[in-house]
Chain A
Amino acid sequence: MAETLSRSQNPRERLAFVLVWGAAAVVTATFCWLLGDILWHGLSRLSWTFLTAPPESAGRRGGIGPILVSTFLILGVCLAVSLPIGVGTAILLAEFTSDQGLFGRMTRRSLDVLAGVPSIVFGLFGNAFFCKMLGLGFSILSGGLTLACMVLPILIRSTEEGFRAVPANYRISAAALGLSRTTTLVHLLLPAAVPGLLVGLVLGVGRAIAETAALIFTSGYVDRMPESLLDSGRALSIHIFDLSMNVSGGDANAYGSALVLVVLLLLINGAASWLATYGLHRKIATI
């Protein structure tokens, strides 16, 4: 076959072939370089003591125990606030408003803009509103609330998609049986929309845990073990930033912390894509 109808040797096609494979190779190489570097230098720092011990000498020695605690506390505050608001808004947008309605349209538009707001601007806002105006000061609470504002659009979009993926005939047949919308929502739609909700949750957590700029002047720098939500607490990402920029000789521990952060995020992303692919099918098969 190849002898009678050989492939055309069009130079433009060959150039495109080289460029496309080249682009993929460059991206892959950069990725491996970055990840390999973090892994290579970070792995030697990683140990149980590193994860639990408090930092010493501004973080040059010691571990990241209190920093992990602060990070999870900030995350907890963020989710405790953003989950109810986000899921409620998503349900309203998907089930209780029409696409043409003014309220729904305005909310959607406003969330689209919110999704594009740079994280540093969230930081400015959080500092002015939560720290100063509400008097929460530099605290885990301020940081968590600022992050909650930031992850809302992600959470809402993904949850809303989860609800929209539920077949319309569930709603129609439930209505034809005289079931109230509340009942339909709680017993039929919510269980079916759980995978979308989880994907949104996981993506939101990923964004929140990776965030630095919004936290610098809301949750602060203090690397002690926090005693309450009103204490300042240093998030993992801020720790990496501080070690690499402000502490000479902090690179080794910065590598260790970066590895912890990257591993956390890889786990979170893996969970998200697993949920998005398999969660839905399992859900439907097991009810």
Chain B
Amino acid sequence: MKQSQTSRRSFLALAALTPFAAMTATACGTSGPGTSSSGGGASMWYLSGEPNQTTMQKAVDAFTSANPDDKIAVTYFQNDAYKTKIKTAIGAGQAPTIIYGWGGGTLKTYAEANQVDDLTGWFDENPDLKEKFFPASFGAATVNGKIYALPNQYVAPIVLFYNKELFEKAGAQPPKTWDDVMSLVKTFNDMGVAPFSLGGQSRWTSMMWLEYLLDRIGGAEVFTAIFEGKPDSWMDPAVIETGTKIQELVSADGFIKGFSSIAADSNADQALLFTGKAAMMLHGSWTYGAMKKGGQNFVQDGKLGFVQFPTVAGGKGDPKNGVGNPAQYMSISSKATDAEKETAKKFFKDGILTETVIDTYINSGSVPIVNGIEDKLNTSEDKDFLNFVYDLAKNAPNFQQSWDQALSPTAAEALLNNIDQLFLKSITPQQFAENMNATLGK
């Protein structure tokens, strides 16, 4: 009898351990290079992938060689993995000194938990720095009237890219209206080419379609109301019409076959466009640089076309409105030591968006968020695209930040999950609106 008890206990132990192992295994990704404790040094987490990683490493190297007492240790992570890792690290008090992010709802949760420092006073002391950046870039860095992050890098609107070669072959023009889109879908399907490339497994890629469509149909006010958490704001008829249009496009085979198994992290969606398997792609302007680098001279030979998102007949939105990332952001962890914070602030002031960094971004096909770069853009070999992005960002009456960044993490996760189901047609537009409406205020 004694034996059977022992064996039962060992099985209890096994049973108790196993599910728990999942919880700890999922959480154990948090350990990493924590806050460095040595004085005068700051730590920073940044995204891997080119050209960003090299640009940042060069900027850090230049800064540390000019300021030998201020060391900055950078660790690079993949985009999708970073988004989870940084949240967990902050919750565990293991955040790096410099917290990289996209502002908006996520920054708001950090600010409300006093995890990041208020930089308003520091910007007031350094007016030159504040005036260096596009004024619009501060919107997503501001929580309750206070600035919690330094805008940096580049403005990244969502752009409709197309393959000029395929359009010539089809004798077609890039779409100006939603009706054009639907007729182009037929044209390209008849040609045996997929109309649109989409990395649907990443979900935020599909979200870009909704962001533009909702803006064109209902105007910027619809999402503003959602962002402000107004009751029943997701139940706006424009949301349901947006969902209906998306499902019509999916049903008409508008997206490449198998789009929901393509992940954007692998850049397969871009490859479909530049290898001529798909005619068009709605994506962030950062893909221009990536396609220039990896696209087998597709960009260099002038085969990549780009236009603003088409209008929708009867829609209320201004066709000049843009969506995307107004900038990327860096905050300072409130848990860092004073010496680390000083180093970080010095780096913010002297190390980021230096002339060299600005030139590197422009050369890689991005528009840095600094004022007075028109001359540089005009002399660049990518001036057509750079000016297009610059004008889009500058002239947009409303530049909507990406929804998954603007909303709280809880609402954003529900949004991405429901968008995935909407594209799979496993929920109706009505159900989509209802599901999302339930997340308001969360």
Please say whether chains A and B are actual partners in one complex: no
